[in-house]
Structure 1
């Protein structure tokens, strides 16, 4: 994987295909393989770039200047500058959508079109913020994700009733178990706290271009339920696509539906 040094740390990224650029922003706790079906579907027609979050994949630890999602947006913009990319079509899922929308608001001339998937631009509801912070404290104290927590955290990302013996579920669970103490303490936990203490920017969403923005959400997304997606689509004035048979990581749970929706959107907007 190629690497760019941003804020003093190595940021690894996928760069595959040729054509108009599509930048894919991943979910917290997922590497670039979260987008494997989309990379395969899009790269014959588009140049697909997938940066790894800090502390994820082969990327380095969270850089010291990183204090907010605005910093993640600025760092993604620095990656585009490093690659001499003037304009991109941005597809962000979960935290990828959180920093993706901020990038579009920060530098609208750089974002040709925007897809916000399974994400929310409001503040985290206080009850869930406190719940996630309690999980971070347990992980911090243990220096690992304890075995009982694996089966608390992993199901959050999938639709209810997913086969827990499936490769998708088991591979993700194993990836959580594999994080080193150093990675958890230097990157994963502080990045999580940054994400879940984010500022509410819902009042800025009307500034996004409704004609070139799309909101998508898994019908069974638990952490980012469809009601949040409906609220954002209404504020932006754009359409909403609900993804059947999918939870939070809709790109992996119903990849055929997601691929078709993205290809349709991009052919009209890229």
Structure 2
């Protein structure tokens, strides 16, 4: 799979299928493979590009001087320039939606449609911001994600009641446990501080094109509760879709529903 050198580091991405372009933005702590069910379905009709965040998957470390989610938006746009793509559809889950909204605001003429999934572009509520920063401090100090922290972090991404022995749950846990010290300290922890220390762009959401935007959310999402998604949909004035039986990584907990919803939304834009 290909790489593009952006801000001096190799950004890894998948590029599959033909047709109108769909850019997929992943969640923090997950790489592009989290989109596997959607890539399989969408790439029959679209050219799907899914990138790995810095320090995730096969992407290089966090580039020097990165300070905000606006940098991630700019870097994604630079990837599109590198690939010679003028217009594209953007589907961003969690931090993918946080930088995705910023990209759409910065370059509205290039974003044909925007799907914001299980995300929130306001500031992180102070109690959770402080809590996440305390977890980052512990990970940084230990150079790993030890068992007690895995027991805290892994369940955050799934709906309550998911079988902790399920392959989805266990594979994610194993992936976090295997993260090397250097990657955690140089990329994942500092990127996490950028994500959860983000500024507020809720006041700008009215600038997005409501007809070309939708908000989707797992009905049992814990870190990004449905109330946040409904708040954003109201500010944008756009449609919203509740994904049943799904937590934060809704596209993997209810993949068929999400793939169908994305196909239906994208078909209306072409």
Fold-level similarity (TM above 0.5):
yes
Superposed, 1:123-138 pairs within 5 Å as 123-138=123-138
Give deviations 1:118-145, integer Å, cap 9, x for gaps: 0001000000000000000000110100
| Correspondence 1:194 to 2:194 | yes
In 1, Cα distance between the equivalents of 2:16 and 2:107? Answer: 24
Counterparts of residues 79-118 of structure 1 (less than 5 Å): 79-118=79-118
User: Equivalents in 1 of 2:186, 2:269: separation in Å?
Assistant: 39
- Shift of residue 33 of structure 1? 1.2
Report if aligned partners of 1:7, 1:65 keep a CA contact under 8 Å in 2: no
User: SS of the residue aligned with 1:98?
Assistant: helix
Aligned to 1:216: 216
Asked if 1:12 corresponds to 2:15, the answer is no
Q: Is the 1:159–1:245 contact (alpha carbons within 8 Å) kept by the matching residues of 2?
A: yes
1:109 alignment partner, SS class: coil
Aligned match of 1:244: 244
Runs of 4+ in structure 1 off by over 2 angstroms are none
Question: C-alpha displacement at 1:151, in angstroms?
Answer: 1.1
- Which residue does 2:156 correspond to in 1? 156
Q: Deviations for 1:219-253, whole angstroms, at most 9, x for unmatched residues? A: 00000000000000000000110000000000100
Distance 2:66 2:208 in 1: 24
TM-score by length of 1: 0.99
C-alpha separation in 2, matches of 1:239 and 1:211: 8
Q: Distance in 2 between matches of 1:140 and 1:65?
A: 19
1:3 aligned partner: 3
Alignment RMSD, CA only? 0.5
What SS does structure 2 have at the residue aligned with 1:248?
Answer: coil
| Aligned residue pairs, count | 270
Pair 1:24 & 2:54 matched: no
Question: How many angstroms apart in 1 are the aligned matches of 2:113 and 2:7?
Answer: 26
Aligned to 2:269: 269
Task: Measure how far apart 1:65 and its partner are.
Answer: 2.4
Q: CA deviation at 1:66?
A: 1.2
In structure 2, the residue matched to 1:255 is 255
Q: Aligned to 2:109, what secondary structure does the other structure show?
A: helix
